Structure 1
Amino acid sequence: MAYGKAEELLHLALRLAASRSGLSASDIEAELGHGPKGALEKKRQRMMNALRGLFPSGLEEQMEGARRFWSLRTKELDHLPIVQPNDLAMLERAATALLNTNDAEGASRMRALRDRLASALSRRGERNYEADLEAMLQSQALAARPGPRPMIEPDVSEAVGQAIMELKKLAFVYESSRGEKRERTVEPVGVLLGGRHYLVARVENAPISSEPIRWRMDRMTDVHVVDEGIRAMPEGFSFRETARKAFGVYHNEAEFGEVIWRFSPKAARAAAAYHFHPDQKLEQSSDGSLIVRFRAAGHLEMAWHLYQWGEQVEVLAPRGLADLVNNHRRADFTAIP
């Protein structure tokens, strides 16, 4: 068997072993990459037959309705050299990326995981891994996100994460944009990550059906978890659906509605490569321009983004956003985002 095929088979075996509920046929084919459906199906069948030969008693098959799921239950993979220096380097890259987006807690956890895996390599007697890891880190670079960003204290993000995981209330002192400070106790729902991080939470004792409020985490101090459980959200509530109502992280229900932008033929190709919103729809016009449509709120964050496109973008809707942008479109930008 060629080296590449053996590596691919080992990767699939590890994925099957790591999955608790098992992988379906479509899951396995997605692991195999891109290509015609028929070719991926045949490749999956060949690889599963190979795994049956290698692990005759470990490969398990289950039925759930009309769908089949496979998992691998064997101890034969336990002593394989699964973790390599390039894996540790990738964890370090991920930690740096998290730190660059204000997620200090996430970066800390990622590096703790890296250190535990490195310790396992050391105990296994692989003496060269440190030199290999250093070489990998020297050969990789991660560009920091340009521009200023608010600083968030690690104890704030840690307390928020703990409250969300344990379904507990959270208390903090919150400073408004006017500098007024007030003690708050809330029931956390989730966190919106961006240049600014927002805690999404329902105020303590607010009606069960009330819309959660967004709190800027860089304005929270004296944060601590309250040893009291939170109420369940109403049936049908989706945090993901709530998050996608905003263009960025700020949401104003009064602004929510249809957004339509037209990018010039010069900027159309670059704009088509952007993911502006999860629900966006793109329309190519006969003159080469590109129409982008979606529904969201957050006119100010939209204006901040649109400014960098200069005169290459026009706001067709809503009127309020167009008024905010039109007088600030520039023709002297030398590049397109």
Structure 2
Amino acid sequence: MRHEKGEALLTLALEMQAARAGLTLRQIQERFGVGRRTAMRMRDAVLRVFPQAIEREGEDRQKRWHIPPGTLDRLASVPADELAVLDSAVRLLEDQGRALDAATLAGLAGKLRAVMPPDHARRVEPDVEALLEAEGLACRPGPRQRFEPDMADTLRNALKAGVAVRLTYGSRRDPTPKGRVVHPFGVLHGHRHYLVGHQTDPAPSGVRLFSLPRITAIEPLDQSAERPPGFDLSAFAKQAFGVFQEDPVDVAWRFSTDVAEDARRFRFHPDQTEETAPDGSLIVRFRAGGLLEMAWHLYTWGDRVEVLSPPQLAAMVHPHRQAWGALP
């Protein structure tokens, strides 16, 4: 127990150094799941060991405590499980076709390894390999979308700079690539990757999606990207079950009793509600568009799911339910 308390205090000290604005008592309480008195005792213990800690008051008039950078650098180390998670994330990003993001995260992992003491690095590296092997992580077979890393880097820089871009883009309806001036808002990643933006030339089209693999060239423009008042990318994404945008509708699915527990382990939509029926089946409700993507997912549940609404989704799913039941 004493060792656990010591570990918690060391963790608190490291986080007080990492937080540039410092930590409040409330943040200490939430981070370590303790009451206010315990948080005060933990803070005081760290301040006794590190008297160089700075106390400051924020704009919200709450006191914060910060340990100057470099104070604990030699005490910090990266455990094997954290490195393994980073390496796993790199492989998953590569599997999703997000080469630039994978390279960025791999660079971060490399920097962490570079600052680790050599003896510690030699000790944890075999553990990292063992953890990755235990996870059984492998590239997922099947089709994946491609998007050139150089163009991804150009798009990311345009988003950071807040400027419009000229895309050379070919849609499904018109596959011949043409120039389009787009004000980019962000990128949605999923089975397919899309740029969210507002096209202003050749003709204004409102907020729409541009498939990243269909972009063959990107040119940043000397023009600020304008966003519609009140537009929120997260709220926009929630309108869809996947990434394909269409008018949202009220959705309700009933999962049979034998798969209800499995269905509870899924988060089908950020705003979903759940209801257990008297017979033990599970009813999930949310509001979103993207009926085709919903149908693709529901096929994997076979005849263990019933679409209560909307009727058009039921018509897509029910005639094609797999008679042998849900897939594993």
Fold shared by both chains (TM-score > 0.5):
yes
Alignment of 1:3 onto 2:3: yes
Q: Secondary structure at the match of 1:295?
A: strand
1:188 paired residue number: 184
Q: Secondary structure at the match of 1:169?
A: strand
2:114 paired residue number: 119
1:36 paired residue number: none
1:205-220 matches, cutoff 5 A: 211-220=206-215
Shift of 1:336: 5.0
- After superposition, the Cα gap between the structure-2 partners of 1:303 and 1:177, relative to the gap in structure 1 and judged at 3 Å, is same
Paired amino acid for 1:5: K
- After superposition, the Cα gap between the structure-2 partners of 1:320 and 1:67, relative to the gap in structure 1 and judged at 3 Å, is farther
Q: Say how many residue pairs are matched.
A: 324
Note if contact 1:162-1:225 (Cα within 8 Å) is conserved in structure 2.
no
Alignment of 1:228 onto 2:222: yes
2:23 paired residue number: 23
Shift of 1:131: 5.8
1:102 paired residue number: 97
Could you give the per-residue CA deviations for residues 109-133 of structure 1, whole angstroms, max 9, x where no partner exists? 1111122222223xx5x24624631
1:230-309 matches, cutoff 5 A: 230-253=224-247, 256-309=248-301
2:315 paired residue number: 323
Shift of 1:304: 0.7
Residue segments in structure 2 that go unaligned for 5+ positions in a row: none
Note if contact 1:60-1:71 (Cα within 8 Å) is conserved in structure 2.
yes
Note if contact 2:250-2:287 (Cα within 8 Å) is conserved in structure 1.
yes
Could you give the per-residue CA deviations for residues 24-49 of structure 1, whole angstroms, max 9, x where no partner exists? 4443233225xxxxx54443233112
Shift of 1:323: 0.9
Alignment of 1:171 onto 2:166: yes
- After superposition, the Cα gap between the structure-2 partners of 1:235 and 1:21, relative to the gap in structure 1 and judged at 3 Å, is farther
Shift of 1:161: 1.1
> Percent sequence identity over matched residues?
37
Residue segments in structure 1 that go unaligned for 5+ positions in a row: 34-38
Q: Secondary structure at the match of 1:23?
A: coil
Note if contact 1:86-1:133 (Cα within 8 Å) is conserved in structure 2.
no
2:42 paired residue number: 47
Paired amino acid for 1:3: H
Shift of 1:239: 1.1
Q: Distance in 1 between matches of 2:95 and 2:255?
A: 30
Bigger mean CA offset, 5-14 vs 261-270: 5-14
Of 181, 187, 196, 1:200 maps to 196
Shift of 1:185: 2.1
Could you give the per-residue CA deviations for residues 200-225 of structure 1, whole angstroms, max 9, x where no partner exists? 011135999x7411011111112x33
Note if contact 2:177-2:216 (Cα within 8 Å) is conserved in structure 1.
no
Q: Secondary structure at the match of 1:152?
A: coil
Shift of 1:329: 1.0
Paired amino acid for 2:189: L
- After superposition, the Cα gap between the structure-2 partners of 1:40 and 1:28, relative to the gap in structure 1 and judged at 3 Å, is same
Paired amino acid for 1:298: G
Could you give the per-residue CA deviations for residues 269-323 of structure 1, whole angstroms, max 9, x where no partner exists? 1111111111101111111011111110000110011110011111111111111
- After superposition, the Cα gap between the structure-2 partners of 1:315 and 1:45, relative to the gap in structure 1 and judged at 3 Å, is same
Of 161, 186, 190, 2:156 maps to 161
- After superposition, the Cα gap between the structure-2 partners of 1:25 and 1:300, relative to the gap in structure 1 and judged at 3 Å, is farther
Q: Distance in 1 between matches of 2:203 and 2:41?
A: 56
Shift of 1:84: 4.6
Q: Secondary structure at the match of 2:73?
A: coil
Normalised to the residue count of structure 2, the TM-score between the two structures is: 0.89
- After superposition, the Cα gap between the structure-2 partners of 1:40 and 1:101, relative to the gap in structure 1 and judged at 3 Å, is farther
Paired amino acid for 2:32: L
Could you give the per-residue CA deviations for residues 220-267 of structure 1, whole angstroms, max 9, x where no partner exists? 112x332423233233221111111111011013xx121111111111
Paired amino acid for 2:156: G
Shift of 1:199: 0.4
Note if contact 2:180-2:202 (Cα within 8 Å) is conserved in structure 1.
no
Could you give the per-residue CA deviations for residues 57-85 of structure 1, whole angstroms, max 9, x where no partner exists? 41424254465444333542133243355
